[in-house]
Chains A and B, each alone.
Chain A
Amino acid sequence: MVAPENIRRGPQAHTNGAPVVTLEGVSKVFANGVAALEQFDLAVRPGEFLSLIGPSGCGKSTALRLIAGLGAPSSGTIAWQHGSGLPAGHGIGFVFQEPTLMPWATVFGNVFLPLRLAGVAKTQAAPQVMDALARVGLADFAAVHPRELSGGMKMRVSIARALVTQPKLLLMDEPFAALDEITRFKLNDDLLSLWESLGKTIVFVTHSVFESVYLSNRIVVMTPRPGRVLAEVAIDAPMRDRSFRTSARYVELCRITSDALARAMAQDAATAKTS
Chain B
Amino acid sequence: MSRARFDTDWRERALRVALPCAALGLGVLAWDLVVRLEDIPPYILPGPGLVLSTLVSDWPVLSGSLGVTLTTTLAGLVLAVVGGIALAILFNQSRLLEYSLYPYAVILQVTPVIAIAPLLLIYLPQPAAVLACAWIVAFFPVLANTTLGLNSVDHNLIDLFALYGASRWQILAHLKLPAALPYMLGGIRIAGGLALIGAVVAEIAAGTAGAGSGLAYRIVESGYRLNIPRLFAALLLLSVTGIVMFFALSLASHLVLRRWHESALTRDA
Interface residues of A (CB under 8 A from B): 65, 68-70, 88-89, 92, 94, 96, 98, 100, 102-105, 113-114, 116-118, 145-147, 165
Contacts and interface: CB of A to CB of B under 8 A. Distances in A.
Interface residues of B, number: 22
B159 interface: yes
Nearest to B175: A102
B154 interface: yes
Interface in B144-176: 154, 156-157, 159-166, 170, 174-175
B260 A92 contact: no
A113 to B, nearest CB: 7
B27 interface: no
B11 interface: no
* A70, A113, A116, A147 — most chain B CB neighbours (10 Å): A113
B181 interface: yes
Contacts of A89: 164-165
A118 B157 CA distance: 16
Interface of B: 154, 156-157, 159-166, 170, 174-175, 178-179, 181, 259-262, 265
Contacts of A103: 260-261
Q: Which of A98, A100, A103, A145 has the most CB of B within 10 A?
A: A103
A89 B162 CA distance: 10
A85 to B, nearest CB: 13
Contact of B156 (A96, A104, A147): A96
A117 B174 contact: yes
Contacts of B165: 88-89, 117-118
Given A102-B157, A102-B175, A117-B174, A145 B166 contact: no
Nearest to A96: B156
A114 B265 CA distance: 28
Q: Is the interface of A mostly helix, strand, loop or mixed?
A: loop
11 contacts: A89-B164, A92-B163, A100-B156, A100-B157, A102-B178, A102-B179, A104-B260, A104-B261, A113-B160, A116-B174, A118-B165
A104 B159 contact: no
A70 B162 contact: yes
A246 B260 CA distance: 42
A103 B260 CA distance: 6
Nearest to B160: A100
B245 to A, nearest CB: 26
B164 A98 contact: no
Given A96-B156, A98-B156, A147-B260, A113 B163 contact: no
A99 B262 CA distance: 17
Contacts of B157: 100, 102
Contact of B163 (A70, A102, A105, A145): A70
Contacts of A96: 156, 159-160
Contacts of B156: 96, 98, 100
B164 A118 contact: yes
Nearest to B153: A102
10 smallest CB-CB distances across A and B, nearest first, come from A100-B156, A117-B164, A104-B178, A103-B260, A114-B164, A117-B166, A96-B156, A104-B260, A145-B260, A70-B159
A147 B261 CA distance: 9
A117 B260 contact: no
A47 to B, nearest CB: 22
Nearest to A89: B165
Given A68-B163, A102-B175, A117-B174, 6 more contacts: A94-B160, A96-B159, A100-B160, A104-B261, A117-B166, A145-B259
A104 B181 contact: yes
Nearest to A103: B260
Contacts of A147: 260, 262, 265
A69 B163 contact: yes
- Residue with the highest number of chain A CB atoms closer than 10 Å, among B157, B160, B162, B262: B160
Contact of A117 (B154, B170, B265): B170
B160 to A, nearest CB: 6
A147 to B, nearest CB: 6
